[in-house]
Amino acid sequence: MEGILPLWKPKGMTSHDCVFKLRKILRMKRIGHTGTLDPDVTGVLPICLGRATKVAEYITDAGKSYEGEVTIGYSTTTEDSSGEKVEEKRVEGSITREQVEVVLQSLTGVISQTPPMYSAVKVNGKRLYEYARAGIEVERPTRNVTIYKIELLEDWDSLSGDEISFRFKVDCSKGTYIRTLAVMIGEKLGYPAHMSDLSRTRSATMTLDDCLTLEQIEEAQSIGVLEQSLRPIEDALSYLPKYEINDTLAMRVRNGAVLETPPHLMDADGPIAVFSEEGEALAIYIHHPSKEGMIKPSKILKVLE
């Protein structure tokens, strides 16, 4: 079995838990997920089966969409609802929709984020959550991420109360911490905040409508129809610059040949997906670091048999 299986990850399971369960259901070892989702987060988790594990990183690197909820009034150790309260501040008066929309607009585009201590980012070879569990505070690397679009989901003019919550939708680049984004929204409104609910609604080209639950996967596998739900490897690469080649050149690509950069990809930034005339993904190429005007293979997806 080979392809991409769009899974709807349930709450209470880690991404690794999902892979472990799928290995038992599908009775195969070559399975990989495409980006960790916290146990409390539900959503789209593309699972790569067989040869498709070679393109997992390109799904991970693609854009994501989320629907979440921010609660204003207190912050937590983990920046979500699973952590202990750190700071509390009652909301005075009301917060208007216009105030929130101004804040969201200010957070659109390239922004800097410092990942939370309870995260899988590595510092000196150790994950931040390992330091956090040991009660050790370490300096965390600040990084730039891109918020392509962020908008409110509910129709309201103002909110009031000691604590208030509102839902939002965001399209963002890889590496974005929505928990941290929720905290940043609160800070700009003048209050401590945390993310109280989150679901990933899109990963690369895959959305909720494409997904199966673990129960549906198990049922489809039992009656022999699961392969009908698999997405081809090519879907994972659809957002990359594309180089379509003829059969003669395809033979060279499968042997790992260095190629001349085609004119339309001279200014391409990052990896290039090489396809056959029949639309089959053959390889991922990158600009050659030392040979100007040439591209070299980064990953061969279809080798000579």
| Paired strand residues for 42 | 199
First to last CA, the chain: 18
Joined together, the tokens standing for residue 6 give 């769009």
DSSP H or E segment with residue 100: helix 97-106
In this structure, what DSSP letter does residue 262 have? P
Token match 């959305």: residue?
A: 207
Joined together, the tokens standing for residue 107 give 């957070």
Joined together, the tokens standing for residue 280 give 């089959």
Locate all alpha helices (DSSP H) within 237-297, ordered by sequence.
247-254
Joined together, the tokens standing for residue 65 give 């969409």
Out of 17, 38, 155, 267, the active site residue is 38
Q: Is 38 a catalytic residue?
A: yes
CB 98 within 8 A of CB 92: no
Active site (catalytic) residues: 38
